[in-house]
Amino acid sequence: MNSLGPGGEFDLIRSFLAAGPPPGAEVVVGSGDDCAVLESGWVVSTDAFLEDVHFRRGWISFDEAGYRAVTAALSDVAAMAARPVGVLVALGLPDPDASRIAEGFRSGIRRACERACCALIGGDLTRSPGPVVVNVVALGRAHRPILRSRARAGDEVWVTGMLGASAAAVRDWKRGREPGPSLRRAFAAPAARLQEARWLAERIRMTALIDLSDGLLGDMSHIAAASGVAIVLDPALIPVAPGAVAVAGSRCDALPLALAGGEDYELAFTARPGSAESVAADFHRRFGASLTRVGLVTGGAGIRLEGDDADEFDPGSPGFNHFRVSRSDATEVGRPDGR
Residues of span 19-48 touching a copy of itself by CB under 8 A: 19-24, 26-27, 30-31, 35-36, 38-40, 42, 44-48
> Which range in 80-88, 193-201, 239-247, 297-305 contacts a copy of itself by CB under 8 A?
80-88
Residue 135 interacts with a copy of itself (CB under 8 A): yes or no: yes
Binds a copy of itself (CB under 8 A): choice among 65, 78, 81, 137:
137
Query: Are 290 and 242 spatial neighbours (Cβ–Cβ below 8 Å)?
Result: no
Measured from the CB atom, the residue of 40 and 274 that comes closer to a copy of itself is 40
Residues 144-173 that bind a copy of itself (CB under 8 A): none
- Residue from 60, 77, 89, 186 touching a copy of itself (CB under 8 A): that is 89
Residue nearer to a copy of itself on the CB measure, 318 or 336 = 336
Instruction: Find the shortest distance in angstroms from Cβ 336 to a copy of itself.
Output: 8
CA distance 305 to 308: 9
Distance of CA 255 to the CA centre of its chain: 17
| C-alpha closest to that of 260 among 233, 298, 287 | 233
Minimum Å gap between C-beta 165 and a copy of itself is 22
Nearer Cβ to a copy of itself, position 118 or 244? 118
Cβ atoms of 140 and 82 within 8 Å: the answer is yes
Virtual torsion, Cα 249, 254, 257, 263, nearest 10 deg? 80
CA dihedral 37, 34, 120, 136 (to 10 degrees): 130
In terms of DSSP bridges, do strands 42-50 and 36-38 run parallel, antiparallel, or are they unpaired?
A: antiparallel
Nearer of residues 13 and 217 to a copy of itself, judged by Cβ = 13
Maximum distance among all Cα pairs of the chain, rounded to whole angstroms? 56
**Based on CB atoms, which residue is closest to a copy of itself, 99 or 288?**
99
One of 51, 211, 214, 264 touching a copy of itself (CB under 8 A): 51
274 binds a copy of itself (CB under 8 A): no
Length of the chain: 339
Q: Tell me the closest approach of the beta carbon of residue 79 to a copy of itself, in angstroms.
A: 13
* Shortest CB 78 distance to a copy of itself, Å: 16
Side chain identity, residue 33: D
When asked if residue 198 is in the footprint of a copy of itself (CB under 8 A), the reply is no
Give the nearest distance from C-beta 53 to a copy of itself in angstroms: 5
Q: Classify the C-alpha dihedral 288-257-32-138 as positive or negative.
A: negative
Beta bridge partners, 270, equal 157, 208
From the list 52, 59, 84, the residue with the least C-alpha distance to 193 is 84
| Residue nearer to a copy of itself on the CB measure, 131 or 180 | 131
- Burial letters 306-338, b for 16+ CB under 10 A, else e: eeeeeeebebeeeebeebbebbbbbbbebeeee
In terms of C-beta density within 10 A (0-12 exposed, 13-18 middle, 19 or more buried), how is residue 27 classed?
middle
Choices 57-65, 124-132, 171-179, 227-235 (CB under 8 A): range interacting with a copy of itself: 124-132
189 is a site residue for a copy of itself (CB under 8 A): no
Interacting stretch for a copy of itself, rule CB under 8 A, among 169-177, 199-207, 235-243, 328-336?
328-336
Selected range binding a copy of itself among 89-97, 147-155, 241-249, 305-313, rule: CB under 8 A = 89-97
Among 77, 109, 208, 271, binds a copy of itself (CB under 8 A): 109
